Amino acid sequence: MNDARNDAMNDATNEALAATWSPGRGLGAWLREVRHTEIGKRFVVTAFLFFAAGGVEAILMRLQLSKPNNGMVGPDLYNRLFTTHGSTMMFLFAVPVMQGVGTFIVPLMIGARNLAFPRLSAYSYYVYVVGGLLLYVGFAFRAGPDAGWFAYTPLSGPGFSPGKRMDVWAQMITFTELSALATAVNLVVTIFKHRAPGMSITRMPLTVWAFLVVAFMIIFAMPAVVIASSCLALDRLVGSHFFNHAEGGDHLLWQHMFWFFAHPEVYIIFLPGLGMISAMLPAFTRRRVVGYDVVVLATVTTGFVAFGVWVHHMFAVGLPQLGDSYFTASSLIITIPTGLQIFCWLATLWRAPLRFATPLLFVLGFFVTFVVGGLTGVMLASVPLDLQVHDTMFVVAHLHYVLIGGAVFPLLGAVYYWFPKATGRLLNERAGKVSFWLTLVGFNATFFPLHLLGLHGMPRRMYTYLPGSGWHHLNLFATASAGVLALGILLTFINVIVSHARGLRAQANPWDAESLEWAVPSPPPPYNFAEIPIVGGRAPLWEEPSSRGVVTGLASDRREVLVTTLLDAAPDHRTILAGPSIWPLFAAAVTGVGFIVSMFTPWGLPIAVALGTPVMVGWFWPKGRPTPLHAEQPGSKAA
Amino acid sequence: MIPGSGYALAPAGPQAARLAQVFWGFFAVCVVVYVVVVALLLLGVLRPGAAPLDEAGRLRLVALGGVLTAVALVALLVISIRGGHELNPMRGAKDVLTVHVIGRQWWWELRYPGTAPDQQVVTANELHIPVGRPVLLELESRDVIHSFWVPELHGKRDLVPGHDSTTYLQADRPGVFRGQCAEFCGAQHAQMGILVIAEPESDFQAWLAAERRPAPPVSGLTPDAQRGRELFLRGTCVMCHRVAGTPAGATMGPDLTHLASRRTLAAGSLPNVHEHLRRWVTDAQTVKPGSHMPPTPLGTEDQHSLLAFLEALR
């Protein structure tokens, strides 16, 4: 066969694929969108908008703390600010942005054309948006929550938080956790069953491993907090006394249920960050990550041990000493897998021929900040040491070193790294480097002094302090530095907006990286891969081109995809994925009605069921022609 | 001037001293680990291509890192458990002073039990303790969760409603140590301070004896203060406050029997001087917005009389 004829055939196939997988045009098509690349981008953009809102709240708090007895922000607003800041950053930024990156990148990395449940991913996004709007509409109407992102009872209960403020919080939690659960289930099935043939589980990219572990962690952690927040909502709505000690309830029950979720949450947030580092390092060091097995096992181990450390948030309540010692030991042990991963990356970086692009700078910034957070975390694991620094500014410093160092630095690196894949344009490198240095210096100058403030007796969550406290100068310095940090982040925001319109056009693989997402054009066509690749190693794009194969025989007139076996990714059968649909949007709207009406009356649930039934019928209404499963092995050929 | 909060690493008692030891032990290990990691990073990054390692060499580097991490963690575990082991060394000690500490939104009630009910001392926001004597604090919350924390003396202990708890502390030197509620407890969490006043045993006993006395009788007051007493007893003050020796016996707010002898107002937020007292009594909501102290609008003359009475409560 000659090449020209081949190309013509390919063009025809690609056109057919594009027609099959495109959502169409117009607002209706936009709302019916189910492509993972689009849903993923929407998740990330929305999450960064909430990140900006949380940042503004942080700046207001820092300004209020810049001098003693400051009258700028009163206690009521301050308490709403720090509650909204914490809730936003945890529930509306950190987890959703990781969901978004996973939704965008995982199918591309494993050679799939979409997620396993395309409509579920759209539902997941819309539910998240409703939850986020609820929090901010509440805030705008002075009904934003004010009892902390941890909402300890009895302060958050009906006796001490009358009104709807904490109901807004409890339902916002339920929305975002529902969204996270839906994404997690989707990712697990996609990763297990939709990998390109040949991508056995031992050839899976480390980034995909990280998202897989995180998805399982979400499945085990989120139900705890959904139950907790629902019990709180019930206490507030119908007086159920789960958390009323006078009627046999217990306030420590809330703390156990909350932290059983909220500690794994920390790992849910930064394990994807670690996965992103594993994705970026090979491109900039020109070598594969050292110790694939070590990194995989460390990630899985972290996922398990993360569920056994939650009591270190509760040392000051005075649980029995033996139990406390166990949690000290487990909280120390979890350092080992994280430490091993860091040493694997250090070994990867060791005297490698580096290319100092912006993503690599953020990775290096990760090392110098995250390790500080890890080490102060080790301090917090010790019962006696924790008794002094618990609930002080020291912990504020620690958690920002972990979450900004461990998640936001890799994430910003990943924004620079994958932006060309998502948009087809490169971000400006010079602006990226300036942004990096401002962020690094601003971050450390803002948060390092808080360690000292904590040791000097400054608790968290104080809207004001006395002139004689001795805390003035460090607070003022932190506030000034927060301005530098904000400037650094703002520069990346501007870079994204400007480069989106005017950036340099990106090739398919601008970084000469190893994994499959770089095999498709930038941005990817609606069907991602014109031909599903056959994977022969851990670094598919660095293998000899002659050894690469592709799958043939998938229909181009239907959304037909290949399902492979769990461990070996051997071809198993073909299936047809769901196409665009408006029902996920309606389903999310009904979910919203149900949860929001439930803040006011127990009739919320029956109303949601009544409205939801027709929506579910619409969602699953058969399309009129059967969609047979093709059990025969699809053919394959070597290129 | 109200003293600032103490430095956790400048301990004034055996508990805080142990905690500081643990801190410095951890600090030393963590600094070493940080220096090693950053050195490895810099050595690796700054000299590309020089003496590269093969794959096996790189894995050896990882293994070495893992072993070093484990060794460091064992060291830290030993430091932590040894340090935490005898944080309550006074358990069983003789001559222990027991004080009942009740966390309220947003102040501290302190009760010193006496041999008879009228020997009990009730005060607020000022914990007097004798130097060198172990003190057992029985902690209880009447509303939401608070946390008792005086950095120079001991770490935190939460006051969880339904879970009464105890903690020991001891001051080894005389001084005024400021503490602060460390668990977010609502609108005025920021202004829920406490002063621990450690004084020699004789001074402490004198203070206790003074606190046991009721308020001065009417005959012992100036005419202005007598008028203030009437205002106090006829006004809204008696709805919440107690003044021993008068019919005022409510326990919603702080006991005012010896208000004038205390150093601060509004839970460690204001120095207890005439002008602050006037503002606090007439317009508490601008001083401490959200607190349960209502404004008391009074004419100038009434203000003067009421303050004369309150300032006589020594």
How does pLDDT run across A379-396, given as a tens digit for each residue?
Answer: 999 999 999 999 999 999
Peptide bond preceding A223 in cis form (omega within 30 of 0): no
Residue carrying the six token digits 């001087």: B273
The model scores a pTM over 0.80: yes
Q: Is the pLDDT of residue A639 over 50?
A: no
Please indicate whether, in this complex, the C-beta atoms of B182 and A381 are within 8 angstroms of each other.
Answer: no
Q: What are the C-alpha distances in Å from B42 to residues A344, A350, B38, B48, B75?
A: 15, 9, 6, 10, 26
- A351 to chain B: which residues are within 8 Å by CB? 44, 47-53
Q: With beta carbons under 8 A apart, name residues in chain A contacting B22.
A: 382, 384-385
* Phi, psi for B271 (deg, rounded to 5): -65, 140
Give the separation between CA A86 and CA A148, rounded to whole angstroms.
7
Q: Note the pLDDT tens digit of each residue in A222-249.
A: 999 999 999 999 999 999 999 999 999 9
A259 prior amide bond cis, ω within 30: no
Q: How far is A416 from chain B (nearest CA, A)?
A: 21
For B23, the closest chain A residue by CA position comes to A385
Q: Considering chain A, what is the average pLDDT of its residues?
A: 93
The pLDDT, as a whole number, for residue A475 is 97
What pLDDT score does A632 carry?
46
Q: At what angle do helices A206-238 and A251-285 cross, to 10 degrees?
A: 160
The yes-or-no answer to whether B1-212 and B218-311 have a common fold is yes
The single-letter code of the amino acid at A86 is G
- The percent of residues in chain A predicted with pLDDT above 90, rounded, is 88
Check CB contact of A371 with chain B, cutoff 8 Å.
yes
Residues 6+ away with beta carbon under 8 Å from B67: none
CA distance B240 to chain A (A): 19
Mean pLDDT of A306-330: 90
Contact A317 B160 (CB under 8 A): yes
Q: Provide the pLDDT confidence category of residue A613 given band limits of 50, 70 and 90.
A: very high
Partner A contacted by B225 (CB < 8 A): no
CATH number of B218-311: 2.60.40.420
Residues from chain B contacting residue A461 (CB–CB below 8 Å):
184, 189-190
User: What does the pLDDT read at residue B201?
Assistant: 96
Residues 6+ apart with CB under 8 A from A131: A91, A92, A171, A172, A174, A175, A176, A179
User: What is the C-alpha to C-alpha distance for residues A461 and A155, in angstroms, rounded to an integer?
Assistant: 14
pLDDT < 50 positions in chain B = none
Bridge partners (DSSP) of residue A551 are A636
- Sequence length of chain A is 639
Distances in Å between the alpha carbon of B205 and those of B97, B128, B198, B202, B213? 12, 10, 12, 5, 13
Which residue on chain A is closest to B185 by alpha carbon? A155
A188 contact partners, CB below 8 Å, separation of at least 6: A212, A215, A216, A219
Cα–Cα distance between B270 and A482 in angstroms, integer? 30
Rounded to whole angstroms, the Cα distance separating B65 from A340 reads: 7
- Cβ-contact A560, A634 below 8 angstroms: no
- Please check whether residue A367 touches B, CB under 8 A: yes
Q: Which of A76, A152, A375 has its CB closest to that of B33?
A: A375
CA angle A325/A327/A330 to nearest 5° reads 110
Q: Which of B69, B155, B185 sits opposite A384 (nearest CB)?
A: B155
Distance from CA of A336 to the nearest CA of B (A): 6
B170: closest CA of chain A, how far (Å): 16
| Strand ranges inside chain B, DSSP E | 97-104, 107-112, 121-124, 126-130, 135-141, 146-150, 154-159, 165-169, 175-180, 193-199, 264-265, 270-271
Check pLDDT > 90 for residue A372.
yes
CATH superfamily for B1-212 is: Cupredoxins -  blue copper proteins (2.60.40.420)
A637 pLDDT more than 90: no
* Confidence band of A3 (pLDDT split at 50, 70, 90): low
Lowest mean pLDDT among A170-184, A260-274, B109-123, B251-265: B109-123
Q: Which residues of B touch A468 (CB under 8 A)?
A: 1-4
Average pLDDT of the residues in A556-578: 93
Residue A553: the pLDDT is 85
DSSP symbol at A426: P
Cβ contact, residue pair B4, A290, below 8 Å:
no
Question: Is the pLDDT confidence value at A629 over 70?
Answer: no
Tell me if chain B has a CB within 8 Å of the CB of A391. Answer: yes
Q: Domain coordinates of chain B in residue numbers?
A: 1-212, 218-311
DSSP β-ladder status, B264-265 and B270-271 = antiparallel
Q: Which of A565, A534, A537, A558 is nearest to A635 (CA)?
A: A534
Put simply, the answer to whether A457 touches B79 (Cβ < 8 Å) is: no
The C-alpha atoms of residue A496 and residue A283 are separated, in whole angstroms, by 21
Cβ atoms of A289 and A348 within 8 Å: the answer is: yes
Binning pLDDT at 50, 70 and 90, where does residue A362 land?
Answer: very high
Cis peptide bond upstream of A282, omega within 30: no
Q: Of A373, A462, A569, nearest to B192 (Cα)?
A: A462
Half-sphere exposure of A50 (CA within 13 A, CB side): 30
Quick: pLDDT tens for A504-563: 999 999 999 999 999 999 999 999 999 999 999 999 999 887 777 888 888 888 899 999
- Please name the residues in contact with B194: beta carbons below 8 A apart, sequence gap of 6 or more: B108, B125, B126, B127, B148, B150, B178, B179, B180, B181, B267, B268
* SS3 per residue for A363-417: HHHHHHHHHHHHHHHHHHHCHHHHHHHCCEHHHHHHHHHHHHHHHHHHHHHHHHH
Comparing CA positions, the residue from A627, A526, A589, A535 lying closest to residue A19 is: A526
**Cβ-based contacts of B269 with chain A (< 8 Å):** 466
| Greatest CA separation for chain A | 87
What does the pLDDT read at residue A631? 46
- Give residue B13's pLDDT: 93
pLDDT of residue A548: 79
Q: Given an 8 Å threshold on Cβ–Cβ distance, is A152 in contact with B180? A: no
- Counting one residue from chain A and one from chain B, the pairs whose CB atoms sit within 8 A come to 261
Q: Would you call A121 helix, strand, or coil by DSSP?
A: helix
| CA end-to-end span of chain A | 13
Q: Does B214 touch chain A (CB under 8 A)?
A: no
Query: A284 to chain B: which residues are within 8 Å by CB?
Result: none
Tell whether A162 is within 8 A of chain B (Cβ): no
pLDDT tens profile B86-144: 676 656 677 899 999 999 999 999 999 988 888 899 999 999 999 999 999 999 999 99
Partner residue facing B59 (CB), from A147, A251, A290: A290
Dihedral sign from CA coordinates of A521, A288, A107, A424: negative
Percent of chain A with pLDDT over 70: 96
Cα separation of A255 and A156, whole Å? 12
Say if the Cβ atoms of B62 and A340 lie within 8 Å.
yes
The answer to whether B271 contacts chain A (CB < 8 Å) is: no
Cβ contact A280:A417 at 8 Å: yes
Distance from CA of A464 to the nearest CA of B (A): 6
Q: How far is B219 from chain A (nearest CA, A)?
A: 39
State the best of B29, B136, B144, B168 to mutate against chain A, taking most chain A CBs within 10 Å.
B144
Q: CA A619: distance to chain centroid?
A: 27
Answer whether residue A7 shows pLDDT above 80: no
Least CB-CB distance to B59: which of A291, A316, A368? A291
| A252 to chain B: closest CA residue | B160
Contact call for B157 and A384, based on CB within 8 A: no
Torsion sign over Cα A520, A521, A522, A525: negative
Query: What is the rounded distance in angstroms from the CA atom of residue A520 to the CA atom of residue A285?
Result: 22
Lowest mean pLDDT among A281-285, A494-498, B59-63: B59-63
Which B-chain residues 90-109 have CB contacts (< 8 A) with chain A? Answer: 105
Q: Which of residues 155-184 of B touch A (CB under 8 A)?
A: 155-158, 160-163, 165, 167, 178, 180-184
Amino acid at A484: V
Mean pLDDT on A99-116: 97
- Residue A234 is predicted with a pLDDT of 94
Which residues 29-48 in chain B show a CB within 8 A of chain A? 30, 33-34, 37-38, 40-41, 43-45, 47-48
